[in-house]
Structure 1
Amino acid sequence: MSTTPSGLMVTEDEATVAQVVEEFIRVHDDLPTSRTRIEDGAPYPRSTWTRAARELGLAGVASPEHLGGAGLGFRGLCVVMESVGRHLALAPLLPTVAMAVPALLACGPTSAATDLLGRIHDGTTLTTLVLGTACAPFVSQTKLRAVEDGTAPGAFRVSGTVSYVVGAADADVLLVIAQHRGIDRLFAVDPSAAAVQVRPLDTLDLTRAAAAVALSDVPAKLISAAADAFPTRQVLAIASIAHSCEQVGAASRSLDRAVGYAGLRVQFGRAIGSFQAVKHRCVDMLVELEGARSAVYHARRCTGQDADQLTTAASLAKVRASTALTSIATSALHVHGGLGFTWEDDSHLYLRRAKSSAAYLGQPHRHLEWLASELLGDEPGRDDIGEAS
Structure 2
Amino acid sequence: MRPTREQEELRSALRSLLTEHQGCDAYAPLTAQVGAAGLAVPEEYGGAGGGARDVQVLMEELGRCLSPLPCLGSSVLTAGALLVSGDEEACGRLLPALADGSAVGSLAWAEQGSWEQEAVRAEAVPGPGGGRHLITGAKEHVLDWKDVDVLLVAARTAHGVSLFEVAPEAAGVRREAVVTMDQTRAQARWLLDGAEGRLLGTDGDGGRYLERVRDLACTALAAEQVGAAERCLELTVEYAGNRVQFGRPIGSFQAVKHRLADAYVLVESARSAALGAAFAADEDPGALPRAAAVAKSVCSEAFSAVAGEMIQLHGGIGITWEHDAHRYFKRAHGAGELLGPPALHRARLAADLGLAAR
User: What is the number of residues matched between the two proteins?
Assistant: 355
Amino acid at match of 2:30: A
Match of residue 80 from structure 1? 58
Q: 1:261 & 1:86 partners in 2: Cα distance?
A: 17
Moved over 4 A (4+): 134-140, 225-230, 304-308
- Matched with 1:367 is 345
**Superposed counterparts of 1:257-336, under 5 Å:** 257-303=235-281, 309-336=287-314
Which ranges of structure 1 fall in alignment gaps of 5 or more residues? 1-7, 35-43, 379-389
Question: Does residue 12 of structure 1 match 2:40?
Answer: no
Match runs of 1:104-115 below 5 Å: 104-108=82-86, 110-115=88-93
Which of these residues, 217, 232, 235, is aligned with residue 194 of structure 2? 217
d(CA) in 2 for partners of 1:199, 1:169: 12
Q: Is it true that 1:158 corresponds to 2:151 in the alignment? A: no
Q: Secondary structure at the match of 2:163?
A: strand
The CA distance in 2 between the partners of 1:61 and 1:212, in whole Å, is 28
2:353 aligned with 1:353: no
Q: Does 1:171 align with 2:164?
A: no
1:169–1:211 CA contact under 8 A, matched in 2: no
**In the TM superposition, what is the alpha-carbon distance from 1:135 to its structure 2 partner?**
10
What is the CA-CA distance between 1:181 and the residue it aligns to?
2.3
| Residues in 2 aligned to 1:227 and 1:264: alpha-carbon distance in whole angstroms | 59
Q: Secondary structure at the match of 2:40?
A: coil
CA distance in 1 between counterparts of 2:191 and 2:117 reads 21
Taking a change above 3 Å as real, the CA distance of residues 143 and 79 of structure 1, as seen in their structure-2 partners, is same
Comparing both structures, which one devotes a greater share of its residues to helix? 2
Letter in 2 for 1:74: A
- Checking the alignment, whether the CA contact within 8 Å between 1:119 and 1:125 is kept in structure 2 is yes
3-state DSSP of counterpart to 2:124:
strand
1:192 to 169, 185, 188: 169
Q: 2 CA distance for matches of 1:18 and 1:307?
A: 25
Give the equivalent residue in structure 2 for 1:39: none
* 1:130 aligned partner: 108
SS class of match (2:175): strand
Contact persistence 1:197–1:214 (CA under 8 A) = yes
Q: CA deviation at 1:177?
A: 1.7
* Cα separation, 2, equivalents of 1:72 and 1:170: 26
Alignment of 1:101 onto 2:94: no
Secondary structure class of the residue paired with 2:191: strand
Partner in structure 2 of residue 3 of structure 1: none
Structure 2: 5+ residue stretches without partners: none
Cα RMSD, aligned residues only: 2.3
Aligned-pair identity in percent equals: 35
What displacement does 1:348 show? 0.4
Structure 1 Cα separation of the partners of residues 322 and 110 of structure 2: 37
How do 1:113-124 residues align onto structure 2 when only pairs under 5 Å count? 113-124=91-102
Tell me which residue corresponds to 1:201.
Answer: 178
SS at match of 1:21: helix
1: distance between equivalents of 2:306 and 2:146? 30
**Which amino acid in structure 2 is aligned with residue 346 of structure 1?**
D
Amino acid at match of 1:342: T
The alignment status of 1:23 with 2:16, answered yes or no, reads: yes
- TM-score, normalised via structure 1 length: 0.85
Sort the Cα spacing of 1:135 and 1:315 in 2 relative to 1 into closer, same or farther, 3 A.
farther
C-alpha distance in 2 between matches for 1:109 and 1:188: 11
The separation in 1 between residues aligned to 2:110 and 2:15, in whole angstroms, is: 33
Instruction: Decide whether the 8 Å contact of 2:228 with 2:303 is kept in 1.
Output: yes
Write the distance in 1 (CA, Å) between the matches of 2:143 and 2:114.
Answer: 19
Alpha-carbon separation, structure 2, partners of 1:306 and 1:231: 17
- The 1:213/1:248 distance shift into structure 2, 3 A limit, reads same
